[in-house]
Amino acid sequence: MSDVSRKVGLVTGAGSGIGRATALEFARSGAAVAVLDIDESSAAETTEMIRADGGQALALTVDIADEHSVREAVERTVKAYGGLHFAVNNAGLDSHHRRLDQMTLEEFERVVRVNLAGTFLCMKYELPLLEGGGAIVNIASNGGLYAIPTAPAYVAAKHGIVGLTKVAAVDYAPAGIRVNAVCPGPTRTPGFERVAAGTDMIAFQESITPLGRMATSEEVAAAAVWLCSDAASYVTGIAMSVDGGRRA
């Protein structure tokens, strides 16, 4: 288990899926966690799960595409716990099944605004509070490393997150701040399973994955928690694939 005991962090998009699994894993590993999500009830549910297991958590509603909302959520985290040691920026939108010429500008801009600009806004307000040390993990995607057909806006935004991660890693290394990205392959989140219901999507994804199965949310969360822990103290600026060998 990665040790983050007595540390304080926040996770965006923590009301479900990878974000929820990450918040739960941080709490099990001894951290106090601010659970941020655009859905107030989902954030509260994750928080109650953490508290029921004996952990410390605070539910906060945030829209990562809105600068005021992001600033307020980060500031409330610090006010509640007295500091910030790590952040996992996980919230985002899916956007698939459209070729580029079939997308409206409004749809493209919305996906980029939430996924890329939203990650930028989170980092903008997290980084000054991590001066002197700390870690950020941005949840990108293997779509940030190569093409996913019919997902131009999503892939463009996720590539942008990987680029932001690398620049921030270099710029903030002198302050002892580490910035990394996790790039999951297809993961069996509740959202994915809803989309895949009644199709052969899961079987197909498993068939083209060397390990023969999709990731669980907990497996992606474990990578994020490790990157925020002292065990990864010399790791910064990477885009870590968690994809069962797909990139290979």
β-partners of residue 187 are: 215
Single out the residue of 80, 174, 180, 176 nearest to residue 123, CA to CA: 180
- CA atoms lying within 13 Å on the CB side of residue 62: 35
- Distance between CA atoms of residues 131 and 156, nearest Å: 30
- Distance between CA atoms of residues 70 and 63, nearest Å: 7
Q: Per the structure block, which two tokens stand in for 117?
A: 């600009």
Helices 152-172 + 118-126 axis angle, to 10: 20
- Distance between CA atoms of residues 231 and 135, nearest Å: 12
Of the candidates 81, 125, 146, 154, the residue annotated as catalytic is: 154
Q: Provide the terminal-to-terminal Cα distance of the chain, rounded to the nearest Å.
A: 26
Please name the residues in contact with 137: beta carbons below 8 A apart, sequence gap of 6 or more.
Answer: 86, 87, 88, 89, 179, 180, 181, 182, 224, 227, 228
Beta strands in the chain (DSSP E): 8-12, 32-37, 56-61, 86-89, 134-139, 177-184, 239-242
154 is catalytic: yes
Active site residues: 154
